[in-house]
Amino acid sequence: MSDTIIGNKALDRFDALIIGSGPAGSAVASILCQNGRKVLVLEAGPNYFEGLDDPRADRPLTHFSGDEVKSGRGLVDPMLAICPRSYRTSEADGERLGVGTYEVLPQNVGGGSTFSDLKFPRFTPADFELGTRLPAIAGANFADWPIGYAELEPFYTYVEYTAGVQGLDGSDPNQPPRSRPYPMPPGVPQYGGLLVAEGARKLGYTLFPAPTCINSRPYRGRPACRDCGMCGGFGCPINAKGSSAVGSLRTALLSGNCQLHSQTRVLRLVQKSGQSELAAVEAILPDGSRRLFTADRYVLACNAIEDARMVLVSSPGGLGNGSDLVGRNLTLHAKLVAFGIFSERVHCHRSRSSTFFMTDFRGVAGDPLRPLGGIVETSGNGTPISEAIQYWSQLRVPVGPRLKAMMRQGVGRDRGIAMSLVHEDAPQLRNRVDLDPQLRDIYGTPGARLTYGPHSFEQAAAAVYGPKLLDIMMAAGAKYAALLPGGELPATLHLHGTLRFGNDPKTSVCRPDGRFHEIGNLYACGGALFPTASGHSPTLTISALATRIAAQMINPASPESALPAF
């Protein structure tokens, strides 16, 4: 592994301490450091990049390769002992239904973006106003965002250009306003995606090139994607993906104003005695010793589940939790998948994970005939080992000639196309993160307990759009098509809510600038702030919001003025 401390090692006093180096934390670090602030980033996981802080390196070297076995041996998912979680659908289930690594994102330098397929759609103006646009819905807790699309648009543009996003301006019939076109054209489309696009066109729908944070041509010192097919769930061996590590975090490190500690797990936030501010964070170092780290400001940038757990574990009842909203309003994005089997080989296991999107099923707030759904993504069905495991574990195909024959046919991998509707789920006060009363990690700190059950809101959308997805699949030429059953929890790993931001401390945890209402020098900056989840993949919005929050720290009156030239 790389050195656990990189960047400017001479720094010993910090304007900001950021917990987490993923899309949110790296974005905050980049803006603060480029504006001359001294920043300490603490990351619980290892560093898989060599030369992130070396200005002489053309691009960082990685520990990744097209190796499915290596990626399946703990490279992506933390072990249960490190990040245990329990799950239940409601309080009526008792203390828990099960224990596992539920909704766990990778822990490493760059966070989940290192292994994500980095789909980068923008939210639309309506997505920020659902509290106003929707009628009152029993059991749901929709609310407007304290900022609108227009306020976030310059930060969307900044992230797209600094991270590198491919797309085709104007191809989405529901595209929100843009101040600039995409910095790169779309890359090579999947053949299977082309088939689905034609099927959708026959039925009056529009598929368009998916905005993706993956280079379609050399960009900012990183090469173009080679379409190797190992994208989602894999680290990019050539850094064609604009992950946080090789993008905003590297920018922060090269500024000379950043120090990064990997394999340094924050255990708790330490409050100043008798004051509504933090004094330090306590962390466990790679050698097992414990240390207090201090700064003027502290920024939570893990993810919506871990950020809430950190606040709850640091004080009885949770720091800054006078509203009793810390951990509540957890949203995960509902997911509906239509899978089609084709007679011909459609090669969807090659290329980027998804090369086409469709927004025709996003819906209209308050329209029962067009309920709020979300973005539709076309994709393939995995890699050879994952396919073999499905045949063996789910279909009970014994190892031997029959399994070999099925693998050669590639029914799931090479003849299958998936259309995934990633859609809005209603925020609910009962859907929450709290501390499991018995579960502990290897350091003795309480694990997160997820209480999450669906609402009729998203179930109604699935009932409307599921048959339409099957219609498209059959129009595309599928021999068979079916809706796939879901698991215990949505499989999107899109985490939002839990530290909702807003103007009223009675109905929100954080202020519009990300700062806690009740803790003067503690900020959240990522998906935990989202009042609603939208129907789009959240990573771009997480990065844009974090960029804006950092810019507000520099210039509260005019955050755009803090954006460096790009």
Place of tokens 């086409």: 356
Q: Looking at the domain assignment, is residue 212 inside a domain?
A: no
Report yes or no: 533 and 494 within 8 Å, Cβ to Cβ. Answer: yes
Least confident of 312-321, 412-421, 514-523: 412-421
pLDDT at 564 over 90: yes
Tokens, residue 119: 């789909």
Phi/psi at 388 (nearest 5 deg)? -60, -40
Assess if residue 306 is contained within a domain. yes
| CATH code at position 316 | 3.50.50.60
Tell which wins on pLDDT, 253 or 395.
253
Would you place residue 74 in the very low, low, confident or very high pLDDT band (cuts 50, 70, 90)? low
* 463 inside domain: no
For 315, counting Cβ atoms within 10 Å of its Cβ (0-12 exposed, 13-18 middle, 19+ buried), the class is: middle
541, 549 in Cβ contact below 8 A?
A: no
The boundaries of the domain holding residue 540 are 1-62+106-116+121-164+243-331+495-566
Rounded distance, CA 189 to CA 199, Å?
A: 15
* Mean pLDDT, rounded, for 461-477: 96
**Which CA distances in Å does 116 have to 230, 242, 244, 492?**
10, 10, 11, 11
Q: Is residue 451 part of a domain?
A: no
- Give the pTM: 0.96
pLDDT digits 0-9 by tens, 275-309: 899 999 999 999 999 999 999 999 999 999 999 99
Q: Tokens 């760059």 — which residue?
A: 110
Residues 162, 29 contacting (CB under 8 angstroms): no
Residue 122 has what pLDDT? 98
Q: Is residue 203 part of a domain?
A: no
The beta strand positions in 364-469, using DSSP E, are 374-379, 416-423, 432-440, 446-451
**Residue 40 domain-assigned?**
yes
Specify the number of domains making up the chain.
1
Residues 6 or more apart in contact with residue 275 via CB below 8 angstroms: none
Mean pLDDT score of the chain, rounded to an integer? 93
Per-residue pLDDT at 233 = 85
Q: With 60 as the cut, is the pLDDT of residue 1 above it?
A: no
End-to-end Cα separation, the chain, in angstroms = 32
Length of the chain in terms of residues written:
566
Q: Does 292 fall in a domain?
A: yes
What are 292's strand-pairing partners? 282
Mean pLDDT of all residues in 469-484: 95
Q: Is 260 exposed, middle or buried (0-12, 13-18, 19+ CB in 10 A)?
A: buried
Question: Is 321 within the bounds of a domain?
Answer: yes
Q: What confidence tens digit (pLDDT) does each residue in 112-130 have?
A: 999 999 999 999 999 999 9
Q: Is a pLDDT exceeding 70 seen at residue 491?
A: yes
